[in-house]
Structure 1
């Protein structure tokens, strides 16, 4: 069977101790399968590995047709945002502790990668949140999130008051430590720990979750992702907006965070037979107590 892919990018969690031997093994395996292999530039610099060409995310998007990401969900989140506009499929090999979106076990990577690069895989597309921050009619920040956008107070500040509008309709003023707008993918991340529900990634929806709300009647709500969501800073000190790992600090009263469904999606490739429910069982230990 001919190889489906021709040029693979290899991205690693270069901060992880001892990751280079694993990256070298994956690169050698891909080369034996007939693929050209390039390293993400940051991975190459931080592992001092020069055996393969080093590319920026934009160059990876233009030159490669598959990306293999070795690390945890944080590593995947960072590169997924940068590569999503190029429609590049991603395979995640999990070296982290949890791993909802880097789902191939580190011990099983060769068994999983072989069929995938030959075209035998399950494809999974994930929606993203696109947003920006406005101050006095001027856009001061824009970002893209796969998991969530969080508007919250600083570590030493008191609670904040936030106005929520959905579409053209005012919803509520909420006093809390903050608000999370989560995608279905992010519903198993911060949103879950704050009491939000799990959304299957095929659902076209978001979850709006108050963080430690002052009013117990302010509950998580599932929203259609066809409408824009705006969060306006009414009151509070040291308020920040966080797009996954990209943080804009020191928002002012009257600043508005506007969010909408992005036109781009993230493409994940999984081994044949992959199941979202099996991932939940494994990661959330739902099998415990079952005889």
Structure 2
């Protein structure tokens, strides 16, 4: 019996309703169905008195979500998609992302198109687009305090007020560099259209095998975004007397103390997006962000009498 999964945002009534309807539909077609909400991918925050507060990356998959699962459907917005991939990426499960949220930049289809997309998914008539994910780890001496999978970006900054921080950053075998800024963003190509875009970074087409480091409001004209091969691991040392805060994909994180180090590298677990039609990234940029829209012609000048 083939097996499918459903991950949904249980804070959205429409997602809860569609999840039950989808479950009944799959069961009636002879499929085994595993149902869960997206909360399992929300990793939470550690605290200074309890810095070790995380579930290992490989243990986040919900019961039944394993290598035998053909695909899973995720119902929600971009936040639910980010959470869902932390749950299914280690098992290699491809996701069909259905938008029940607002922006839906990461989603493949809408609710009114779900019946046709589901038929294609059950028949295996789709492409898989793989996106790079990151393994983010916090180390204190030889102890790993925290780790998470990341699809968009890792952000390191000071709290509670924005002020200048110093970071020593080492990319692969290259010499370390010192950057003074309000914070640091390390982004995947997928994340280049998220926080990194708001901070002035370039848009990177998802298939390009690179990462980018982007200082937030750097205190130097020479400190700008750096794009480099995703085979290079990155280690960030906070050169500050006070603690910093690290967040991953905007919904999980931990405190980083002056003697800690953050290590980021390409994860062996890619995010597998189900595409029921060939992916067209420029179309998504145009539809969601207005990129490349034609300019509106200016009215011709009219001479006044």
| Same fold (TM > 0.5) | yes
1:260 matched to 2:256? The reply is no
Q: Is the 8 A contact 1:159 1:236 kept in 2?
A: no
Q: Is the 8 A contact 1:160 1:237 kept in 2?
A: no
Counterpart secondary structure, 2:204: coil
- TM-score computed with the length of structure 1 as normaliser: 0.87
| Gapped regions of structure 1 (runs ≥ 5) | 44-54
Q: Which moved more, 1:268-277 or 1:118-127?
A: 268-277
Counterpart secondary structure, 2:215: strand
Change (3 A) 1:69 1:236: farther
Q: 1:221 aligns with which of 223, 226, 231?
A: 226
Change (3 A) 1:102 1:149: same
TM-fit CA distance, 1:34: 2.9
Q: Is the 8 A contact 1:126 1:266 kept in 2?
A: yes
TM-fit CA distance, 1:124: 0.3
Q: Which ranges of 4 or more aligned residues in structure 1 deviate by more than 6 Å?
A: none
Deviations 1:8-41 (A, max 9, x none): 1111111113432222232233234332222116
1:68 aligned partner = 73
1:125 matched to 2:115? The reply is no
In the TM superposition, 1:1-291 aligns within 5 A as 6-40=2-36, 57-61=62-66, 64-235=69-240, 237-244=242-249, 245-249=251-255, 251-286=256-291, 288-289=293-294
Deviations 1:223-266 (A, max 9, x none): 101111111000153411222222012x2113111111111111
Deviations 1:109-165 (A, max 9, x none): 112221122111121011111121122343222222111111111132522111111
Counterpart secondary structure, 1:38: strand
CA distance in 1, matches of 2:89, 2:166: 33
CA distance in 2, matches of 1:233, 1:248: 14
Number of aligned pairs? Answer: 276
1:52 aligned partner = none
Q: Is the 8 A contact 1:165 1:231 kept in 2?
A: yes
Change (3 A) 1:191 1:120: same
Q: Is the 8 A contact 1:233 1:256 kept in 2?
A: yes
Q: Which moved more, 1:180-189 or 1:62-71?
A: 62-71
Higher strand share: 1
Q: Let me know the Cα RMSD of the aligned residues.
A: 2.3
- TM-score computed with the length of structure 2 as normaliser: 0.83
Q: Max radius of gyration: which structure? A: 2
